[in-house]
Amino acid sequence: MKIAIASGKGGTGKTTVSTNLASLLAESENVVLTDLDVEEPNSGLFISGKKIREEDKFKMIPEWKKDECILCGNCQKVCNFNAVMKLGKMIMVFPELCHGCYACSELCPTKSLPMIPKKMGELKHFKSGNLDFIESKLIIGEEQAVPLIKQTLDYVDENFPKRTIKIFDAPPGTSCPVIEATKDADLILLVTEPTPFGLHDLILAIETMKELKKEMGVIINRFGIGDNNVEKYCEENNIPIIAKIPNMRKIAEIYSGGNLIYTKIPEVKIQLESIISFISEYQQENVL
Amino acid sequence: MKEIVIISGKGGTGKTSITASFAYLGGKNIVVADCDVDAADMHLLMQPDLEISEDFYSGLLAEIDQEKCIKCGKCAEVCRWDAIPVIDNKYVVQPLDCEGCGYCALVCPTDAISMNEQNVGKWFISNIKTKTKMVHAKLGVGADNSGKLVAKVKNEAKALAEKGGKNIVIVDGSPGVGCPVVSSLSGASYVVLVTEPSVSGIHDLKRVYELVKKFGIKAGCIINKADINNNKTNRIKQFLEDEKIDFIASIPYDENFTKAMTMGKTIVEFNDGKIKQILEKSWEKIKKI
């Protein structure tokens, strides 16, 4: 079963929920936690384990071989991303603009633009008891997160049985990286805070997930701060609120040091247990 | 004209609340741009009165004319995104998977595939409560090309500033280190990094600063919620010193940020406390740069 933790607004507590939930679940069963926020992955700062695998991840880009090139300019013509250009007697490739569609390469009449791998990030796999933790990190300067997210999801699919509970820490927002990180999930848990910013971005996230026809539940973090408009909105739109994590300065302090919270604050553990029962009900109803 | 961009790497550090405070303090002499187009929130504090609203088209989407299609499957074969599955015996483009590369259209023997510009969102110009203008946007659901929408918002804001004889554009940037952030940073005169003293705050600050360095832009830093973890705050200060980043201010943890937000206000309008003083001093420093 795949559960994506997403949020709309950044900094609402996605990583806190993902790491604490995965660790609590791992006390009794096998769990895979994957950090898909490849631009700024943070889950690893809260999970300790033994590194069992490390892989470089590549995207494919064209490389110009001038010997056979007849400078016909077809490559420039077929590229929709301005990533290949004919400048005088040279063909220039701009790797950061390339989406890796292969059109220039495969349609080149002289095969002068073979595709070569370019490193875009790293995947690391850690293990600690029942918990497998996987994180991928984009190299600074690489602009596209989606290909790395895709390869990370493939790694998880290839290495773990279908039935294992898999938790994915998704990137913030509602644009293409979020779609990639959530589109295969069975269940989406949206973490928000009860503030105008939180609600505004939660609505965007809910609209996005409705478009993807996803089942969702809402987790309100920092409950007690702000106002009650998030609760009102969820009630009116029939979206279940499955946990309310209290607003406590102590939680922010524990988090700041890179520590798990539920082991120190019983109220948080109770809320996580309520998330777990929501998940297992869903699992039973849908035979996942 | 100066372009001051506020970014954070990590979300939830208070970037937008702080940017809105600077926008308030800058008053009518600046133009405001909300480039966090994915989750734009600044308008919630600025009382925007919409003046212009326009659709934004960018990127292409493949569309198959079923009458012309001979079901040869060449399109699906060349597509690297598996965006053209067979559904009910027809080749159908999945809009969320299509990257817009146009390779399918190039190889289609019957010209059944057209590439069409996509409406990926809207951008707006609003009059805001500080008697100036703000450019903001809303990205469509799951849309690609947020980097291009960011560039659009920034360019419109710069044009407005030039036209109105205003010498500062203040930009609320997006989180992360990917294409929208790259777009937010390009052309910036100064970057303000907002961070918090937590393991993740530090981690993300370092990564996003690596990106800022690639652009060669001068940067300053504000440490928000500084008293949550004094140890980490000191580590951030050390990092700033090592990297020659200006230390602008430390702001203590204060739930008044949220109280002000629920009233649609920036914290500098909300009360005359210590935070207001810190932000006023910070703004004085930043605008002189």
Say whether domain A64-113 belongs to CATH 1.20.120.790.
no
Report how many domains make up chain B: 2
Cβ atoms B174, B42 nearer than 8 A: no
Chain A residues close to B100, C-beta within 8 Å: 80
Residue B264 lies in a domain: yes
Query: Across the strands, what pairs with A20?
Result: none
Cβ-Cβ contacts under 8 Å, B141 against chain A:
174, 204, 207-208, 211
Q: Check CB contact of B255 with chain A, cutoff 8 Å.
A: yes
Element at A233 (helix H, strand E): helix A229-236
CB contacts of A178 in chain B (<8 Å) are 142
pLDDT digits (tens, 9 = 90+) for A118-128: 999 999 999 99
User: Is the residue at B270 inside a domain?
Assistant: yes
**Do B195 and B220 share a domain, yes or no?**
yes
pLDDT at B63: 97
Cβ burial, residue B163 (10 Å; 0-12/13-18/19+): exposed
Alpha-carbon separation of residue B124 from A155, A159, B42, B55, B118 (angstroms): 41, 46, 13, 9, 18
Which of A251, A257, A15 has its CA nearest to residue B230? A257
User: Is B149 found in the same domain as B65?
Assistant: no
Residues A167/A59, Cβ–Cβ less than 8 Å: no
- By C-alpha distance, the chain A residue nearest B13 is A11
Q: What CATH class has A2-58+121-286?
A: alpha beta
| pLDDT tens for each residue of A235-270 | 999 999 999 999 999 999 999 999 999 999 999 999
Structural domain boundaries in chain A: 2-58+121-286, 64-113
Q: What is the CATH number of the domain that holds B264?
A: 3.40.50.300
Judge residue B280's burial from the number of C-beta atoms within 10 Å of its C-beta, 0-12 exposed, 13-18 middle, 19 or more buried: middle
- Quickly count: other Cβ atoms within 10 Å of residue A109's Cβ: 11
Q: Strand, helix or coil at A101? A: coil
Task: Please tell me the predicted confidence (pLDDT) of residue B146.
Answer: 84
Q: Rounded to an integer, what distance in angstroms lies between the CA atom of residue A75 and that of residue A107?
A: 7
Residues B66 and B134 in one domain: no
How much is the pLDDT for B163? 97
Nearest chain A Cα distance for residue B164, angstroms = 30
Higher-pLDDT residue of B65, B272: B65
pLDDT at position B244 over 80: yes
Give the pLDDT band of residue A175 (cuts 50, 70, 90): confident
**Among residues A61, A10, A175, which one has the least CA distance to residue B147?**
A175
Question: Which residues 151-210 of A have a C-beta within 8 angstroms of B?
Answer: 171-179, 183, 195-197, 200-201, 204, 207-208
Asked if B144's CB is within 8 angstroms of A39's CB, the reply is: no
Given a cut of 90, whether residue A57 has pLDDT beyond it is yes
Closest CA–CA distance from residue B170 to any residue of chain A (Å): 20
Which of chain B's residues have a Cβ under 8 Å away from the Cβ of A99? 99, 101
A268 touches chain B (CB under 8 A): no
CATH number for the domain that contains residue B104: 3.30.70.20
Of A167-171, B26-30, B93-97, B212-216, minimum mean pLDDT range: B93-97
Q: What per-residue confidence (pLDDT) applies to B10? A: 93
Residues B35, B162, single domain; the answer is: yes
Indicate the Cα dihedral angle B232, B237, B240, B246, nearest 10°.
130
| SS3 label, residue A185 | coil
Query: Is residue B143 very low, low, confident or very high in pLDDT (cuts 50, 70, 90)?
Result: confident
Q: Show the DSSP H helices in A95-195 as ranges.
A: 103-106, 146-159, 176-182
Q: Is the pLDDT of residue A113 over 80?
A: yes
What are the residues facing A116 on neighbouring strands?
Answer: A61
Residue A45 in tokens: 């700062």
Record: contact A195-B180, CB cut-off 8 A: no
Flag whether B229 is in a domain: yes
Domain boundary among B90, B119, B148: B119
Is B53 contained in some domain?
Answer: no
- pLDDT, one tens digit per residue, over B94-140 is 998 899 999 999 999 999 999 999 999 999 999 999 999 999 999 98
DSSP code for B149: H
* Number of other CB atoms surrounding residue B1 within 10 Å: 12
Dump the DSSP string for A199-214: HHHHHHHHHHHHHTT-
What is the value of ipTM here, to two decimals? 0.93
Spatial distance between the Cα atoms of B78 and B107, rounded to a whole number of angstroms: 8
Is residue A145 within 8 Å of residue A171, measured between CB atoms?
A: yes
Tell me the percentage of chain A whose pLDDT exceeds 70: 100
CA atoms within 13 A on the CB side of A235: 5
Domain hosting residue B99, numbered range: 58-119
B216 touches chain A (CB under 8 A): no
Question: Which of B8, B56, B106, B259 to mutate to probe the A interface, most A CBs <10 Å?
Answer: B106
Residues B208 and B228 in one domain: yes
Give a yes or no: residue B19 inside a domain. Answer: yes
- The answer to whether residue B16 is domain-embedded is yes
Sort out which chain A residues have CB atoms less than 8 A from B16's CB and list them. 197
Helices marked H in chain B: 15-26, 43-46, 74-78, 103-107, 146-164, 179-185, 199-215, 230-243, 256-262, 267-270, 274-288
The torsion of the CA quartet B5, B7, B13, B15, rounded to 10 degrees, works out to 30
Chain A residues with CB-CB distance to B197 below 8 A:
256
Report the DSSP beta bridge partners of residue A6: A190
Would you call B204 and A143 a contact, using CB atoms and an 8 Å cutoff?
no
The rounded Cα A190 to chain-centroid distance in angstroms is 13
3-state secondary structure of A138: strand
Residue B188 lies inside a defined structural domain of this protein: yes
One domain for residues B166 and B63? no
At A34-55, the pLDDT tens digits run 999 999 999 999 999 999 999 9
- Collapsing DSSP to helix, strand or coil, B87 comes out as strand
Q: Is residue B52 part of a domain?
A: no
Cβ–Cβ of B225/A252 closer than 8 Å? yes
| pLDDT beyond 80 at A287 | no
- For residues B100 and B141, membership in a common domain is answered with no
